[in-house]
Chain A
Amino acid sequence: MDFKEPGDYKTEVHFIGQIVAGTQFDTSAGLFCEIHLEYGDQWRELPNRSEQGIQTQTSYPSVDELIVWAHPIDLHFSTNSIFGWPKFIIRVWRLDDVGRIDLLSYGVTALPCSPGYFKLECPTWRPIGTWQDEAMAFFIGGPPRLMNQDALTKEVGLRQTLKTVSSGSVIIEIEVMLRNFDVHWARSQIN
């Protein structure tokens, strides 16, 4: 690596880890987790922008109510700006024994920006409707969903009128590696 070109000094970020498990979901049905990435305009996903999100296997809970997904995550971004650091938008879906697939809960988590190992616990929630909606969700299925997904990250002000109930948590292990950040005078840890 003695001969370096301008492309070698591009700032890059690697996220390596896994979606470990879901806890405290209080259900005996199978759950799977779907994750979409959200990042700013100056960020580019390498090598190609992924058309579909990350989707894990469908897991059934263990004796101590841990739902293990262990889905590996290996993301590589190239960026020109710290603004718009990637976020995970998490959606947990439920598959029960009669074959219904329901969107169970939502969660948002920002990825860490300093190098190292992090164990993130992202709590999730789902919106509540009227008592009729809740009764229908219990018997027939189809718990209430968000009509406008912007309430998650883009227009957070819309959440003012939202009523939700807490659901379980998703545990994510992530290791962050930063490349060439010190060349551009960016610092994200005390050193």
Chain B
Amino acid sequence: MADLAFIQKEIELRQNLAGENFISPPYNGAKVFVMGELLSAKDFEDDNLYIFMDSRLPPNWQYNLEDYYDPRATETDVSDLINRGKSVTHCSRAVPSGKNRKPISHFCFPVAWNLIATDDALFRAWPQVCVQVNSVDDYGRHHILGYGFFEIPNTPGFHKISLQTWRPIESLRSEIYSFYLGGSVRIENPWELSNTFSFDEEGEKSVVNRYGLSTQSGGSVQFQLSVAIQTQTELEKQREAAKILIHKQQSELVWRRNEKKAKVVVDRTTAQYKIGDY
């Protein structure tokens, strides 16, 4: 019964002392907070790099806007940073670093998302981030150095993610043009890269087959992300456990009462027997 008292005390503590000021999670589902930064880009062919970043949400995920319309939010909570769709970083020149003297460009571009998801959306698919790395040189020539994407990690905690990138190549002629004049072979819709199925002629879902596309590896992009998840499931579990224990406690009280009654009856009968016994 110590368990029951402990759980009841926790629930009371939450109601009385913790109060209602902390912004609560939704009833069905979870609030997910992702904070981090795009740290750096390593090992690319060119020097002055800038990165385009885009994010998209799978079905049943939404941007959490209710926390902004909450009367308890102050002005400093509002920022242009949170829940951005597309962003682009500054242009950063690479320097050699590490014992292999590989070129690395530092960005430290902050990213943050506040999201709400339903339970099966949390299970099925998490938001994805797509990245395109470009470079510009002194003559004003732009090149695309790589495309990459990743899915936000689904466990709370600190995650260091290293994205590998590739860029499409067409023929020797287009490479020569690109080298002297700038410009690169582009992918029309970079989100196609993260699709896990394609549609065939009848509109049915089918396999993804990229045979025929030739690509060349680019460098890698480093992200650091912290993920926090706020749900009500712990509370629900505690409530259920409390219910079970209360049920157990009551049934035990009933049993004890019955035992006492039975004992009293037995004592009376034995007492009578004892009086007459000598």
Direct chain A–B contact by Cβ atoms under 8 Å: no
B residues at A contact (CB < 8 Å): none
A residues at B contact (CB < 8 Å): none
